[in-house]
Amino acid sequence: MAKKKTERKAKTFSEAIGFNNILNDKTGFILGLILFLVAIFLLIAFISYFSTGQADQSLVTELRPGEVENTAHEFHNYCGSVGAILSYFLIAKCFGIPAFLIPLFIIVCGLKMMRAYEKVDLWKWFFGTALTMIWSSIMFAKFLAPFMGDKVFNPGGGHGAFCVQYMENIVGEPGLVALLVITMLAFLTYATSETITFIRKLLNPVDYLKSKVKFTVSEQGDPTAQSTNIPEQQEVEFIADNIPEPARKKESATKNKHEDEISMSVDIAKAAEQADSKTVASENIPSTPINPREPFTMWKFPTLNLLKEYDSDSQINYVDKEELEANKNRIIKVLNDFGVQIKSIRATVGPTITLYEITPAQGVRISKIKNLEDDIALSLAAIGIRIIAPMPGKGTIGIEVPNAKPSIVSMFSILNSRKFQESTMELPIALGKTITNDVFMVDLAKIPHLLVAGATGQGKSVGLNAIITSLLYKKHPNEMKIVLVDPKKVEFSIYAPIAKPFMAAVDENVDEPIITDVQKVVKTLKGLCVLMDERYDMLKTAGARNLKEYNQKYLSHQLNPEEGHEYMPYLVVIIDEFGDLILTAGKEIEMPITRIAQLARAVGIHMIIATQRPTTTIITGNIKANFPGRIAFRVGAMMDSRIILDRPGAQQLVGRGDMLYLNGGEPTRVQCAFVDTPEVENISDFIAAQPGPVTPLEIPEPLSEDNGIGGGGGLDNQTIDPLFDEAARAIVQSQQGSTSMIQRRFSIGYNRAGRLMDQLEKAGVVGSAQGSKPREVLIIDENSLDSLIERLKSKG
């Protein structure tokens, strides 16, 4: 108990002073690099000592003032006077040749700090290296010294020579040798368990072999003395001496188990033969998977130098010790004034908030501390504090106190973190840092829809920019498309340059990629519903449950592109100022959003809606039920917080990006990453300069009242597409009638291809649609097609 208490106090102190932040990525790498270079310096000096030690010995042993500067180049060591002095001390005076283990250990420490080998246990290396060096020093001084002749140093160094002479005086030469052997065996025993087995074999090989009784199991399960026809893998090694009595009673059960294993092996062999026959049947399938990034395989992701670095990125402590101590004393005083006794208190410092965790004394009610929220805030003179009683998963009560000088969490520090760089999330969203300074990330594909709300000027727009930026830094244009809805017309305008590679729109030739018109928003949302239904048809045909499974099947050549299958990117729909749209269009907006939120997760369509009006008329029950992910920035009233998070807390935030994230369980407090407008402009310009898609992804037009495709003219109104003849001829020649085939053959958008297919249906070239299956081709040869085209022209 005393040990655990001491460890807890040490951990609390290190967290309070921010010691855990000292060895961040940059500082650790620099210190590790310095250690690595020091080790190389020592190695060069040690090696040089073998040839220059005798010449430098008189200088080192009788060092006079001013000779360390080596102005006259008296020292012959490659590393100068410092190298000569260190080599003499560590090799000649101390450990001899084993002193080379010192720079080896320093190299290991350097690699550990540079995080080249993170799993290295430095304590094990330290004790192992130290023991090996001491033992080797004595052993070299005893056995190698006679063969060194008149060398300038003893191979075991001064330490080894002294220990050999001292121990031989006490136990003699045989005793010294015995001690060396015992020490070696003891060390190897702790180092590896195989040494124990090896020693046992050497000491008593006959008994060791007798203790291991081997028996084999025939196909009938009878033990036999010899193994002739039984495969080697069916032999079982049985240690008779070491089996306890209950295990001996289970021998019959073990025998039955082996019978089952033998029959199972026969079944496995049959299954393998069947698998081989299937493999032969599928030899025509290409083994190389499809690259989803084709033809833009040279795409370059945005670089970190496009983002701005702040002074806080390299800051070790966000709060000084005086502020921590003062706040701690004030909290303790307020609690004591109201008769609340506590056992301990510790602080966790974050960029904006410091969390003080208190452990109440026995018999203190949690509600009594929670009721003192206003009194503690008054004592600390803070903007607003938040009490978490109790802390989830802990036996403590948390008091979140705003820092006097909040620090900026830059987007650079978030995207430069190892957590983001090594993330394997489908749609990674890097939001910021938690109170414990950990990078906070979520996967939008698992949320799957996100509601963002907060009062004006509290960081909502910056939060949306952080979400978009993190997606752009991780996803290829073929893997993700974005739909941006901006009723205010100014928030998302900076993303206009990335329209062609990353955006999706209903219109084929879109001039304004950012959707600002309410009617166009309605059209886009309804078109997304059509796209969602089409994707579900494709998933049903492919036998896949979600978009990820479908794409994996497509990339592994399990789906035929000629049947309309293609790689599907994720679609992220981001709507800013959702409240204005609801007030303008009402149910016409809410219904398609609700339908998409309910069904679109499996087909890779995810929504993020933001509003500064957290009212029940804006955030309705349907919206809350289908948007499990919630982000709340600071709001003005507790009622607004309850509407967003179903609980209070958002009214106690400090603003400027301070937010609460909720997706089940308790909300997490996060300081949102700050990304400025010039940074977003740099990223947009960088992406626009990349060779990528030349048009936005086309969203199908919504169905009209008569279930026809809106905006498409038939043959009756003389709006036959100029490609009608060529498309009809291509379908008759290939005898495949699919919209995707027309898209690929003539490089046109989905909407135009759909209108062409409707005209071909009305003309009698293809049959009616059959879900995701290709349409039936009604014309069997080109002569019949020519006759049909002539009749149509004569009617026209």
C-alpha Rg value of the chain to the nearest Å: 38
Structure tokens at 151: 């060398």
Q: Which helix (H) or strand (E) holds 210?
A: helix 205-210
3-state secondary structure 655-686: CCCEEEEECCCCCEEEEECECCHHHHHHHHHH
Residue with tokens 């009788």: 62
Q: Phi and psi dihedrals of 519, rounded to 5?
A: -65, -35
- Alpha-carbon span 200 to 197, nearest angstrom: 5
3-state secondary structure 261-313: HHHHHHHHHHHHHHHHHHHHHCCCCCCCCCCCCCCCCCCCCCCHHHCCCCHHH
| CA 393, chain centre distance (Å) | 24
DSSP 8-class letter at 226: S
Residues near 699 by beta carbon (within 8 Å), at least 6 away in sequence: 483, 504, 505, 506, 524, 527, 528, 530, 531
DSSP, collapsed to helix, strand or coil, labels residue 364 as coil
DSSP, collapsed to helix, strand or coil, labels residue 442 as strand
Task: Kindly list the distances between the CA atom of residue 702 and the CA atoms of 568, 606, 711, in Å, as whole numbers in the listed order.
Answer: 19, 19, 9
Residue with tokens 């995707």: 740
CB atoms within 10 A of CB 793: 10
- Which positions make up the binding site? 454-461
What torsion, rounded to 10 degrees, do the Cα atoms 775, 780, 786, 792 define?
-40
DSSP, collapsed to helix, strand or coil, labels residue 480 as strand
Residue with tokens 């090989």: 205
- Alpha-carbon span 198 to 321, nearest angstrom: 57
Residue 396: name the closest of 459, 335, 330, 346 by CA.
346
Q: What angle do CA 389, 394, 397 make, to 5 degrees?
A: 30
- Alpha-carbon span 84 to 538, nearest angstrom: 76
Spell out the long-range contacts of 24-28 with Cβ–Cβ below 8 A and sequence spacing 24 or more: 24/316, 25/115, 25/416, 25/417, 25/418, 26/314, 28/113, 28/114, 28/115
Structure tokens at 670: 């996060």
- Which positions make up the binding site for ATP? 454-461
